[in-house]
Structure 1
Amino acid sequence: MIYLDYNATTPLCEAAREAMLPYLGRHFGNPSSVHAAGRDARAAIDNARDKLAALLRVKPHELIFTSGGTESCNLAVLGLARCRSSPPEAGGHVISNKAEHHAVLNALEHLEKHENFEVTWLSVSENGIVDLDQLAKSIRPETRLVSIMTANNETGAIQPMREISQMCREHAVLLHSDMVQSFGKSDVDLWLVDSASFAAHKFYGPKGAGFLFLRSGLSIQPIMFGGAHENERRPGTENVAAIAGMVPAAEWTIRDRQTEQEREAQLRDALWTRITDSFPEARQNGDPAHRLANTLNVSFNGFDSETMLMALDLEGVCASSGSACMVGSVVASHVLLAMGLPKERASSAVRFSLGKKTTGQEIDEAAKAVERIIKRLTQADKAYAVA
């Protein structure tokens, strides 16, 4: 199997697995319990929070442990927007864009439909970059929050966060960023934002764990109820094993980040060259200059995403797409449509995303698989046309 879907999830690294094992066995205490077993679990969480904060150059109390990226995004968007709406039913104004992950999109759409909020949806270029001029013109006195992801999960496009941050600071508007795809792949500067979402399984950690960075001094309204955990910001018994494994995964991921990203970029570009050699009609989606080093989003014009992904799977290649297959029909990627790309191009997109275990040999084999698939599908189309 050739795994080229690292933006979907990553394999658990050995350091994370080893850190988790004690808390899957004899160290099983509830961190809220006052006895020795509980204190042992609480110490593990506190230690993890301290180490993660040091790694990110923030304060420990600024990190809220969650179940992952979706919960972190929901907590940030809903919790910050509601907290700044006075009275709560008055709603407010929020700014984002339609190329965001659904964890942000759906939360904003909920505010828009059910809680009297107005959302300004910024335009994005055909490379996936938000319109900064439109952002500047959209901020107004009642704007509660701006939410812009740092790097797109489908195209890898990296947003100009420094410029976005400056605009928000000048107008005293809070800025949240979905950084789920950014950690370990690009610079993560939390000084630029007021809150940011992360998911452990995207950086070789366990599934079911993540965290939200929330700047000191900011209040947030919980979106769940039932306990005083995480300083009354996120109730529920903490996933001790997953939290314990998340920190060594983070440390392992960023240890050689620069060198690793350069290696992955070379492999990504080699794959793109091979694809265009065998299929010149292929089109690359996203900003070619400002994108994640591991991400290659390609439209195979004339062949829909579902067909390509099934063919790749039969060849032993794991890739992904921005499309959702529903009842046998392909729904075009909302990200690519937001970029203004034609529906046909958006519906033929395949995302290849590389990782630490990706080898040059795997890229070579994947390229050969694409070549075989294109040849086979082209011949099938010709035979069908003749018939």
Structure 2
Amino acid sequence: MLYLDHAATSPLRPDVLAAMEEARGVAWANPSARHEPGRRARRTLDDARERVASILGCSPREVYFVRGGTEANNLAIQGLWRRAARPSEAAPPGGLVISALEHSSVSEPADALEAMGVEVTRLGIRPDGTLAEDALNEALSAHPFLVSVQGVNSVTGLLLPLEPVLRATSARGIPVHIDAVQAIGRVPLPPLRDPLSPVLMTLSGHKLGGPRGSAVLTVPRSVAPLPLLFGGGQERGLRPGTEDVEAAVGLATALSIAVDTRTSESERLTALRVRLETRLLEALPMIRVHAAQGPRAPHILHLGIPGLDSELLLTALDMEGVAASAGSACRSGVPGPGPTLEALYGEAAGNHASLRLSLGWNTTAAEVEEAGTRIASVIARMLEFEGNARETSVGNQGR
């Protein structure tokens, strides 16, 4: 099987697996326990936290281990809303600002808050990765409690305009949350320390070759989201529940490798993505490369194929030994082009099958060449079949 779905999840890196197995042997106890096995687990957890903090450039006390990127995003948005909406606050909270391209773990919490009466502003992003700064400034004039934006769009790979967002929020002291799940280890990110505007950040282990069920939310000490869960004091009360020490070690190891190799790996993956894109465009000039006008992450290629159905295409590719997706795995099976393509391209988004091909740490040049051949062959056969079916239908109508 040729695996081209790393934006959904990547296999465990061997070094990560080795680190996790070592942690399993020495840090199996509950890190909240007072006995020696518990203290050993606590030291291992603290070491993982310090490694993550050192890599991200923040304090260990600002690193919170949670169970996934979805949880981290919800904790940032709903936790800060709960803090801002407390009756003890001097002024009523402002609204929430997000981009129109956000992952469902941001857009759906925003929808939920909006249903409760919270004002939610969704900033449009152009296909070239820019936004209307006057619209941003207007949204910030009401002093929202949070601005949440992706670093890299998980569907198209488009880099979102973090710089103007951070510049505008810093001038007003408004907290910013960056969903860096697809960005960390692949593209440069802004520093977490901003003296004027607190920056929260989400990252996920399994996108980097780390374990599933491991993620981090960084929270500067100048803001204090309220917990969404109750029943323990773990993670300084923000995320109760016994910590998964083994997963934290795996995440820290995967993050370290991804950041240390970011420059060389980005160059390698960009070359592979360009080769795959060129190969498919040569064979199928009618396909559309989404977000081609803007800056893109090195590992994601998103295509639109006219005249085909996304689910049928993915099934055919799977049968041909190519694992791919239409977009975010969290929206798998949901009909339609999805909110990202609708936001970028409007009505035209619905006229194409969507195909996301995403590369990762173990993708090779030989795999990309073979995948290009198989994908082009499958699409060509399906287009030929669809064309013949339409001709037959027209002929039958004429009888």
For the superposition of Structure 1 and Structure 2, which TM-score range results when normalised by the shorter chain?
over 0.9
CA contact (8 A) 1:262 1:293 kept: yes
Match of 1:308 in 2: 313
User: What is the aligned residue count?
Assistant: 384
Match of 1:72 in 2: 72
- 1:65-88: CA deviation from partner (whole Å, max 9, x where unpaired): 100100100000111122123428
Match of 2:133 in 1: 132
Match of 2:256 in 1: 251
- 1:230-267: CA deviation from partner (whole Å, max 9, x where unpaired): 11111111011100111111111122211111111111
Match of 2:119, SS state, is: strand
What is the alpha-carbon distance in structure 2 between the residues aligned to residue 145 and residue 346 of structure 1?
Answer: 35
Deviation at 1:287, TM superposition (A): 4.6
Match of 2:182 in 1: 181
1:96 to 95, 98, 105: 98
Match of 2:396 in 1: none
CA contact (8 A) 2:181 2:202 kept: yes
1:278 to 245, 259, 283: 283
CA contact (8 A) 1:184 1:257 kept: yes
2:112 to 107, 110, 113: 110
Q: Is 1:366 aligned with 2:371?
A: yes
Describe the shift of the 1:88–1:186 C-alpha distance in structure 2 as closer, same or farther (beyond 3 A). farther
What is the alpha-carbon distance in structure 1 between the residues aligned to residue 278 and residue 108 of structure 2?
Answer: 36
TM-score normalized by the length of structure 1: 0.94
Q: Give 1:138's aligned amino acid.
A: A
What stretches of structure 2 of length at least 5 have no aligned partner? 393-399
Residues 197-212 of structure 1: pairs in structure 2 closer than 5 A: 197-212=202-217
Match of 2:357, SS state, is: strand
CA contact (8 A) 2:93 2:145 kept: no
Match of 1:339, SS state, is: helix
Q: Give 1:101's aligned amino acid.
A: H
Match of 2:298 in 1: 293
What is the alpha-carbon distance in structure 2 between the residues aligned to residue 144 and residue 292 of structure 1?
Answer: 29
Q: Give 2:13's aligned amino acid.
A: C
Deviation at 1:146, TM superposition (A): 0.8
Describe the shift of the 1:267–1:58 C-alpha distance in structure 2 as closer, same or farther (beyond 3 A). same
Q: CA RMSD in A?
A: 1.9
CA contact (8 A) 2:27 2:245 kept: no
1:332 to 323, 334, 337: 337
TM-score normalized by the length of structure 2: 0.91
Task: Tell me the percent identity.
Answer: 33
Match of 1:185, SS state, is: coil
CA contact (8 A) 1:124 1:130 kept: yes
CA contact (8 A) 2:127 2:293 kept: no
Match of 1:44 in 2: 44
Match of 2:193 in 1: 191
